[in-house]
Amino acid sequence: LEQEEQASSMVSASSRAYGENVDLCPDLDRVDQLNAPLLEAQPLYLGAGERPLHLAWKGGYGPYAVTLVRNADSVTLLAAADLRSTSFSAEPLALEPGAYTLSIEDIGGLRVEALVSVVEPGALPLPLGPEAEELAVLPERVSGMIVAAHLAALASQGYGLEAFQRVAPLAEDEYQPAQVLARALACGSTSRTLAPLPPPRPVE
């Protein structure tokens, strides 16, 4: 019975991020290492809810497999195999607050594993008050891009994965600023591209 419940909890998935068989870091040669900059910060945070899961990584050799396990009861929410590219989007998953183990594995057995803490959306460091009101009057994809960039700037604190969830759908719609940010997050270059600007010099 337990195996049946676990099997019924699996969600079918498809690699539809940016089309099929697309690598977000195409200038990087395949190497004998599997890296997932999106998963490097610990702890990692995601907002709870019924939502797709967008991922990207680099290196290793396909096909790849991705799994997501809820730690509280060891239920596998996602088991996707035979992935031919290093970008991937799963159909919506029911993510409840708690701890999850997310893993990516290549055909040679190289594996990246991360602990993900799913939290209530209100616990995420999103713009509030006047800032949120200003965003509300902007076009949806512009406000979405601003929120994603805000979270990406906090990637070292564990919010890069959440930022990628928000920017990936915009990138799929061929919104160029979103594509730039998605690549920066996926390839691990946000420390350079999203570094805070120096304070302005005082006027003498």
Residues of the chain with pLDDT under 70: 1-22, 26-31, 129-130, 190-204
Q: pTM to 2 decimals? A: 0.80
Q: 130-189, pLDDT tens digit by residue?
A: 677 777 778 788 888 999 999 999 999 999 999 999 999 999 888 899 999 999 999 987
**Residues 6 or more apart whose Cβ sits within 8 Å of residue 170:** 141, 144, 145, 148, 178
- What is the pLDDT at residue 6? 44
Domains of the chain: 2-193 (2.60.40.10)
Backbone angles phi, psi at 44, to 5 degrees: -105, 145
- What is the pLDDT at residue 196? 40
- What is the pLDDT at residue 27? 53
Q: At what angle do helices 160-172 and 176-187 cross, to 10 degrees?
A: 140
